[in-house]
Amino acid sequence: MIQIYGTLGPACAGTETLVRLFEAGMTGIRLNLSHVGLPGAAEQIEHLHAAARLCGMTLQLLIDMQGPELRVGALPAPLSLEAGTTVRLGTDIPLPPAVLPHLTAGQEVLLDDGRLLLRVLEPLPNGAPARVERGGVLRSRKSAALPGVDIRLPAMTDSDRENLRLAGDYGVTGVMQPFVRSRADLEAVRGALDEAGGQAIRLFAKIENLDGAARLAELIPAAGEIVIARGDLGNSGPLWQLPALQKRIAAACRQAGRPFMVVTQMLASMEQSPVPTRAEVSDIFNAVLDGASSVMLTGETAVGRYPVEAMTYLVHTVREAERYLRTL
């Protein structure tokens, strides 16, 4: 049976809503640790365990690490970026120091999984002015990407190492390593987990860039499950190339007998709408037909207006696809 995950967040933080998500068919949940550590999420995790007990569920809790992902720093308040205006990267929008040398004239900067697009006007010593080409509202700790630029960061942050050390105490069953670039990244995480007594915790390798996709053959044996993480993966090249890339990763996993997950914007419209689009349910259905062993909602359950409704549509679509496969 395909595993169905939600993402923990303000929209589903209470025990009552979590119970409803489990009753709708959710089998596990993800906690994004890019914004908070395990101790800071202790209350949410307590609600999660309580909901699982009430539903008689064996809890599957995945933690999503910070890893080598580039992110915007802390903002004092959500920042509204209007197309055609100019903003200063490095000050108005704080970025990791490793990014600043790569802010050359004409360089594109994608923020929040590509929802916002900026173009650098000129490099300056402590940052760069950039023109907003695709606007929106930017919040703290959202993803940042510079297409065509390879910025090397360590596989784990100090916070990641501390969360791995505590994972067993909080009932974590799986670790999602973002932006996997090589087998060495996975071996480093696996080693830290084993050292902390987490030998039973599964390791999920998130494929989010072309480096990871190109090295899939070496990553598959080192991961318990491959994650086709379409948010940043879709920023790694023209968006219209993403479906073929997803198909190739899925085929490689099937051939190797390795389970894989499909995630990101599966029901994105349901963050604001009580019903999905036809394209979204077709996307879920096709992910199952491609052989996905698990699927996941992110913002839909974490911050969306209709977390239970979104989970209900996901579950029903997955189960319908499973019924269809049994008829073939």
Residues with catalytic roles: 30, 71, 206, 264
CA Rg, the chain, in Å? 19
- Separation between Cα atoms, residue 258 and residue 282, nearest integer Å: 24
Distance CA 174, CA 312 (A): 24
Nearest to 264 by CA among 236, 289, 299, 291: 299
Residue that has been written with the tokens 């979104």 in this structure: 310
Nearest 10 degrees: CA dihedral of 108, 266, 140, 211? -50
Show the tokens assigned to 249. 């990763």
DSSP alpha helix (H) spans, 146-241 = 158-166, 183-195, 210-214, 216-219, 230-233
- The owner of tokens 């989970």 is 311
Place of tokens 């948010």: 231
Tokens of 59: 């809890």
Under 8 Å between Cβ of 60 and 28: yes
